[in-house]
Amino acid sequence: MKNLIILFAFVLFAATAQSQSLTQKDITGTWLVVNVENSSSNPQMAAAMTNAVINLYAENSFEVKEKQENGSAYVYNTTTNKNATWSFNPSTQTISTTRTKMSFKISKSGDKVFFTEQDSGLKLEVIKPI
């Protein structure tokens, strides 16, 4: 009976851990930054990433667009280098980029998804608006 309980607990733990993992297909697309945590670790980057858009395209190109106030309207300016690309490591749940210093650790808590920029420590809560 004790072994059965241990086996059940292990299966439950493994299922929970697996459900928190994302695939490359899951993360491909447009992500809107809705909240920036740990903003004191890099205030300038935190301000730039507030309401930013992160595009992870299927052909592995990558761009970040920062929201800029332009009079009464908002516009987005691309801030990443041309031809920047991304790759995903499913075992570590990390996104690496080229032509930029950004790399993200992806985590999921309940229905929330977070991209934590590894150099700055900024934790970006993101959603797929589309």
> CATH code at 116?
2.40.128
Q: Is residue 114 part of a domain?
A: yes
pLDDT digits (tens, 9 = 90+) for 30-81: 999 999 998 888 898 898 899 999 999 999 999 999 988 765 556 777 877 7
Nearest to 124 by CA among 39, 43, 19, 29: 39
pLDDT digits (tens, 9 = 90+) for 14-40: 444 444 689 999 999 999 999 999 888
- Strand segments (E) across the chain: 29-37, 53-56, 62-70, 73-78, 86-89, 94-97, 103-109, 112-117, 123-127
Helix intervals (H) in 20-98: 24-27, 43-49
The angle formed by the CA atoms of residues 103, 94 and 47, to the nearest 5 degrees, is 40
Q: Is residue 6 part of a domain?
A: no
Q: Is residue 14 part of a domain?
A: no
Q: Is residue 2 part of a domain?
A: no
Is the pLDDT at 130 greater than 50? The verdict is yes
Q: Is residue 10 part of a domain?
A: no
Q: Is residue 7 part of a domain?
A: no
Say what the pLDDT of residue 126 is.
97
Q: Is residue 17 part of a domain?
A: no
Domain that holds residue 112: 23-127
Q: Is residue 50 part of a domain?
A: yes
Nearest to 94 by CA among 106, 85, 112: 106
Q: Residue 61's Cα: distance from chain center in Å?
A: 15
Give the total number of structural domains in the chain.
1
